[in-house]
A and B are shown apart, each in its own frame.
Chain A
Amino acid sequence: MMKNFLSLRMLDFCSRLFTMLGVDYPVMRRILQVKLTMDQRRVPTIFEQSKTKEGNQFIKSLGLYAFYGLILVPFIIFGDYYLFQMTLVFAMMMFILMTTMIADFSAVLLDVRDKNILNTKPVNQRTVSTAKAVHVCIYMIQLTGAFAAVPLLVGLFVKGVLFTVIFLFELLLVGMLIVVLTALIYIFILQFFDGERLKDVINYVQILLSVGIVVGFQVMARVFDFSDLNVDFTFQWWHLLLPPIWYSAPFEWLLNGNSASYIIGYSIMSVVVPIAAIVLYSRLLPSFERNLQKLLQYSGVNKRKAYRLDQLLAKIVCKTKEERTFYRFSALMMKQERQFKLKVYPSLGFAFVFPFIFLFNEISRNGFGSLPGSKYFLTIYFGNIMIPAVVHMLKFSSNYKGAWIFRAAPIRNEAIFYQSALKAFLTKLYLPLMVLLSIIFVSMFSFRIVPDVIVVLLAGVLHALLSYKLLNNQTHPFSRSFEFASEVDTAKNIILIAIIGGFAVLHYLATLVPYGVLGYLGIVLIAVFISWRLVFPAKEKKLLISQA
């Protein structure tokens, strides 16, 4: 049976208040109980990159947020430059809360099933809407609570009671602002676009969150060793547009006694804006509820998009007509399937950022000037770490049931399915990203490294083949449910990451020999040709591989 949630037991204390507002409290409580039960069974985006899927996902994610809250601690304790420190604290807080809200709670805010399931029952509208509002608030309080718990405690011990009281009060306002802001964004998007576009926006925010958290921590760990920091704050009018500054101002005002007019102005903004936003929101709510229906409509533009380019690429990289067909199909699957993008695009983001993160140490030590002569360009190999991750994901699709078409179609040479999927991955995702990365690297390291970059790209192709052989080795791409996507063979992944290292080491050794890189290039090129033939035999025979 469903749990009697702590949050609901707390809510029971306010039951009188709800009854006074005209809400049927027992019914609202029951709706909330169902909603909270369903929340527990959802996998939060913050776990999207991990494998564990057992137990209460939501509580676990709160634990993770509490852990992330630790990074706020240094900013709170290292000094009394509240305007600066607390701006950073609130900026991070708002980023995390806002993206999480959009990524994970959209499903709740935008649940169109509610209408058919709840509004057909003898329950008054006010009860249903209040349940929704309370649900969002419970979520926000839990999230903010988890994230701010450690900073609040540290603040209490280091900065005293007044600090903590201001902090709590400001957190409340920030929470309100974020809930309303999220809703306003939805209202705005739904006013002008249909549900499909909104789902795209949510998808990209989810991706941003996944990348943002990992990259943010990598960068943070390296950037913030400026311990003796001293910032002079000069007021600029556009600072008024930065909400985190509003929330830092009251600390400056009440704790440092700085009562400059702009400080007081910010403090007023921090209170007035959330309240104004709520008023605006309640005005727009009826039209929002109406526009929610758009989520069910597919007004979509009935036009073919950017077909020419795909057509051209297909001609270049594929030999047979059948192969071209599946190449275009794979390209479309990668481009249009949200679940696939959510799983894969973060890896692409990491691939783009990691080389720079590892360059960062060198640049901060010796500056840009030392780069052209050095061999630090080899950090570009970190870009290749996306390959096993993405190749693994080629197995999956949220429409995996559609894969019957592979078996039903009269295709003789079954090698073309994965061959074309791999080609689509390499040409549509891998190459564009790596070419961009290469251009940046060449501009930093001089033209000398052009052959090296080509070697890296070829090693990538080879690596994709190895990854396929080691991880997938089946006939049909996009044919399994994402539910199994987390079943990763760790050993194989470590091997594949190590292989990247192997390529890099060989590359390094080749640079020590005159014309070594060109020789290495030749070897890798030949290896690519041979292994492609071996993995995907061109003959018309069935592949002798085990079906997954």
Chain B
Amino acid sequence: MNVANQEEKILSLTNLSMSYGGDLVLRWIDLDVYRGQIIGYIGPNGAGKSTTVKIMLGLVEGYNGTVEIFGQDIGNGDPSYKRKIGYVPENAEVYDNLTACEYLTFTGEMYGMDAEKAERKALLLLDKFDMRGVFHTKISSFSKGMKQKVLIISSLLHDPDLLFLDEPLSGLDANSVMIIKEILAQLAAEGKTIFYSSHIMEVVEKISSRIVLLADGKIVADGTFAELQAKNEEGTLEEIFNQLTGFNEHREIAKSFVSIVREGGS
């Protein structure tokens, strides 16, 4: 059912489960991801998306099942598999009292690059976003969009083979969004694998070569957008999402919301 080339498995989850204080947030997930795929990883809030990504990055321990990345079981305690991974976290966490130069050079070095190369490359990449002028400015003074661009650059600086992006477009203007979408498509064409989580269905629908929908800790749909459309009668990804997550009372909720707004206003 996967359209991408089947030969090289980049990432494989087998029987993955995870519980926080008795609540099962992931229920025995199986997932294989192949080279060059752009996975749109979607699901309602609390479905377990971030938990999956955090497990794969080694940020969360105590899961059951196996996680293999680049053929290595990540539970063996050797962090070297992270060398070829890039990550854009959801809530834009950076050491923001460093300058863009300092931060990017530092993260590059953490991935094993040497300082001069990281700095040179960081400047060239920032220049593409017209941010050359703030190379030596503290990140704390950046706007949300600028900060997001720094995060995206820091995730790509070391030319990773696997990218985890959590709402990477938040805060970016329409033109920057177009650039990033094109960058992702071209990276995938070069054989990079991208794991893309977002709540913005239109974007996921357009850029993903494969969509994985998570609900209640389980994978409820997996395939290309065309395949999902064929299986469900609904048209857009948003509608499919609503249908598969069993959510169909948006009209009723909106109606009663509006009636509360209207009641006793000034």
Residues of A participating in the B interface, judged by any CB pair closer than 8 Å:
1-2, 27, 30-31, 34, 37-38, 41-42, 112-113, 115-125
Contacts and interface: CB of A to CB of B under 8 A. Distances in A.
Contact of B94 (A30, A117, A120): A117
Nearest to B112: A122
Given A27-B110, A30-B109, A34-B106, A120 B57 contact: yes
A116 B85 CA distance: 13
A38 B97 contact: yes
B36 to A, nearest CB: 22
B196 interface: no
Given A37-B102, A117-B107, A119-B58, A124 B79 contact: yes
Given A120-B57, A122-B112, A37 B80 contact: no
Contacts of A42: 97
B34 interface: no
Contacts of A125: 79
Contacts of B82: 120-123
A34 B138 CA distance: 13
A38 B95 CA distance: 8
A123 B87 CA distance: 15
Given A115-B59, A122-B83, A123-B79, A34 B95 contact: yes
Contacts of A118: 110
A273 B76 CA distance: 37
A287 B235 CA distance: 48
B93 interface: yes
A31 B78 CA distance: 19
18 contacts: A1-B102, A27-B109, A27-B110, A30-B109, A30-B110, A37-B98, A116-B87, A120-B59, A120-B89, A121-B82, A121-B107, A121-B110, A122-B80, A122-B82, A122-B110, A122-B111, A123-B82, A123-B110
Given A34-B102, A120-B59, A113 B95 contact: yes
Interface in B22-42: none
A122 B97 contact: no
A1 B118 CA distance: 13
A117 B79 contact: no
Contacts of B78: 124
Given A117-B93, A124-B77, 14 more contacts: A27-B110, A31-B110, A34-B106, A42-B97, A112-B93, A113-B93, A113-B95, A116-B89, A116-B93, A118-B110, A120-B58, A120-B82, A120-B85, A122-B110
Contact of B87 (A27, A34, A37, A120): A120
Contacts of A122: 79-83, 110-112
B174 to A, nearest CB: 24
A437 B28 CA distance: 65
Nearest to B103: A34
A37 B106 CA distance: 12
Contacts of A120: 57-59, 82, 85, 87, 89
Contacts of A117: 93-95, 107
Contacts of B81: 122
Contacts of B83: 122
A120 B109 CA distance: 13
A117 B92 CA distance: 10
A118 B111 CA distance: 10
B35 to A, nearest CB: 20
Contacts of A38: 95, 97-98
A125 B87 CA distance: 18
Nearest to A112: B93
Nearest to A26: B109
Contacts of A27: 109-110
A27 B80 CA distance: 13
A446 B95 CA distance: 58
Greatest chain B CB density within 10 A among A42, A117, A124 is at A117
Interface string B101-125: 0100011011110000000000000
Contacts of A115: 59
B57 A119 contact: yes
A125 B228 CA distance: 41
A122 B83 CA distance: 5
